[in-house]
């Protein structure tokens, strides 16, 4: 608890150690009549020192430089006192001096924070998630080098200006080999990762104020694309002659009929196929991204794809249902498949998950709560982002309602005609 009742800063010259008619300038911090002196490493001629105003006399360049430095020291000492008040510490003059000189605590930098974060995150997040953090960290270090002409900064130097400057840096950033700027939602993700790492620093007492306090940035709503029933049928009918395209087609379709992400399909083994409550085959697994349990009844097209994989593809790991192929290659080959099928949408593997939520399930009357459970979501609002009610479903539902109103109108007219006149 802070119980100090007095706080003052005085600048003076040490006349007990005069050399060549010059004396050193000191700052004196006094709290509750207890003093602490700090040398400013500056000298001034005794005749040029104004004791009443605690500054150098005159307006020449040397006097201005020393007086400006005195004011910088005064501000630094005042800020040190304020920081200690904010932390609720018992404030003494020696503690203010130590804080101003950076001797009371170890100064940690961004590099220290990155090393600590990555060491504890290694066992808590997936490799892909950790790679996202490393990408953000590399952007920060690149920004520091570009903006501050150095390789690292202390965490205590972080403020709102640093954060907003980094956002502007990302918005103007053009990576090598890519002429497109970084999208708004990707920038938001980078900023969210920084905030999470800074919160770790605060929990460790490496940083006492969060520079994100008044910072706001919003995700833009995106139109998540999915395949229509017609487009899904076109890919089903497509028969590529190249094995790599056949494999990627099967992986993509399997995701369309199960809702599993690429990494979860890649991890799938025969042990994950078991009899469900209805006696049919189900996929029972956990999402690698979140660790959430997922149970998905296998539709007939998905079962056929499993059988096809067992019969037709060479596998390095026979404990896996599908052969291993990198996600980067998968998305590259999907673009070839889209071209061959005449699909103009940007076909990515994640689109299969959207297709499962919309075309395969919701548009066929599966309740959104059931879809949410099969996708492994913990919140229904998350599923609502994926699940679009396509025009066909809206049309079908409205047709039923239209017919109902038509029937009611017809009956009303009939009853009106049949009513006897009074």
pTM: 0.61
What tokens does 375 get? 């996708």
How far is residue 46 from each of residues 12, 27, 41, measured CA to CA in Å?
A: 11, 16, 15
Give φ, ψ of 79 to 5 degrees.
-65, -40
167-222: pLDDT as tens digits? 999 999 987 766 788 989 999 999 999 999 999 999 988 888 889 988 888 877 77
> pLDDT averaged over the chain?
87
**What distance in Å separates the CA atoms of residue 231 and residue 345, rounded to the nearest whole number?**
10
Q: Among residues 80, 97, 95, 93, which one has the least CA distance to residue 30?
A: 93
Q: Report yes or no: 356 and 368 within 8 Å, Cβ to Cβ.
A: no
How far is residue 295 from each of residues 127, 289, 371, 372, measured CA to CA in Å?
A: 24, 16, 11, 11
Q: Among residues 84, 83, 77, which one has the least CA distance to residue 11?
A: 77
**What distance in Å separates the CA atoms of residue 108 and residue 158, rounded to the nearest whole number?**
11
Lowest mean pLDDT among 121-130, 267-276, 353-362, 404-413: 404-413
Q: What is the pLDDT of residue 35?
A: 93
**What distance in Å separates the CA atoms of residue 84 and residue 105, rounded to the nearest whole number?**
12
CA 313 to chain centre: 38
53-81: pLDDT as tens digits? 999 999 999 999 999 999 999 999 999 99
**What distance in Å separates the CA atoms of residue 301 and residue 254, rounded to the nearest whole number?**
8
Q: How many CB atoms lie within 10 A of CB 328?
A: 8
Q: Report yes or no: 127 and 65 within 8 Å, Cβ to Cβ.
A: no
**What distance in Å separates the CA atoms of residue 322 and residue 2, rounded to the nearest whole number?**
65
280-290: pLDDT as tens digits? 999 999 988 88
């Amino acid at each position: 608890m802070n119980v100090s009742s007095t706080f003052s800063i005085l600048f003076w010259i040490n006349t007990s150690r005069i050399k060549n008619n010059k004396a050193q300038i000191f700052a004196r911090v006094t709290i509750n009549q207890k003093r602490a002196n700090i040398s400013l490493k500056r000298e001034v001629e005794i005749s040029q020192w104004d004791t009443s105003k605690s500054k150098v006399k005159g307006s020449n360049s040397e006097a201005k430089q020393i007086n400006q430095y005195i004011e910088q020291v005064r501000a630094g000492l005042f800020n040190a006192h304020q920081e200690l008040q904010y932390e609720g510490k018992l404030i003494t003059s020696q503690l203010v001096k130590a804080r101003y000189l950076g001797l009371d605590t170890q100064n940690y930098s961004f590099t220290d924070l990155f090393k600590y974060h990555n060491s504890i995150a290694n066992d808590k997040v997936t490799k892909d998630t950790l790679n996202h953090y490393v990408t953000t960290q590399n952007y920060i270090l690149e920004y520091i080098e570009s903006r501050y002409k150095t390789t690292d900064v202390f965490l205590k130097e972080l403020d709102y200006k640093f954060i907003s400057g980094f956002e502007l840096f990302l918005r103007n950033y053009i990576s090598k080999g890519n002429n497109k700027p970084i999208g708004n939602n990707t920038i938001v993700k980078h900023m969210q990762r920084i905030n999470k790492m800074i919160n770790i620093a605060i929990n460790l007492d490496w940083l006492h104020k969060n520079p994100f306090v008044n910072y706001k940035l919003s995700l833009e709503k995106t139109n998540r694309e999915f395949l229509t029933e017609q487009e899904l049928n076109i890919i089903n009918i497509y028969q590529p002659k190249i094995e790599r395209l056949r494999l990627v087609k099967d992986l993509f379709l399997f995701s369309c009929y199960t809702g599993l992400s690429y990494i979860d399909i890649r991890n799938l083994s025969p042990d994950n196929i078991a009899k469900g409550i209805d006696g049919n085959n189900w996929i029972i697994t956990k999402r690698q991204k979140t660790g959430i349990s997922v149970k998905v009844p296998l539709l007939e097209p998905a079962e056929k794809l499993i059988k096809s994989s067992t019969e037709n593809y060479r596998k390095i790991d026979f404990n896996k249902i599908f052969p291993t192929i990198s996600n980067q290659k998968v998305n590259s080959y999907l673009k070839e498949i889209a071209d061959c099928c005449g699909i103009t949408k940007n076909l990515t593997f994640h689109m299969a998950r959207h297709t499962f939520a919309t075309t395969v399930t919701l548009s066929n009357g599966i309740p959104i709560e059931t879809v949410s459970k099969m996708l492994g979501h913990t919140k229904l609002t998350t599923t609502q982002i994926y699940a679009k009610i396509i025009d066909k479903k809206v049309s079908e539902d409205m047709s039923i309602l239209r017919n109902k109103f038509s029937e009611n109108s017809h009956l009303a007219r009939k009853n009106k005609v049949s009513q006897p006149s009074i």
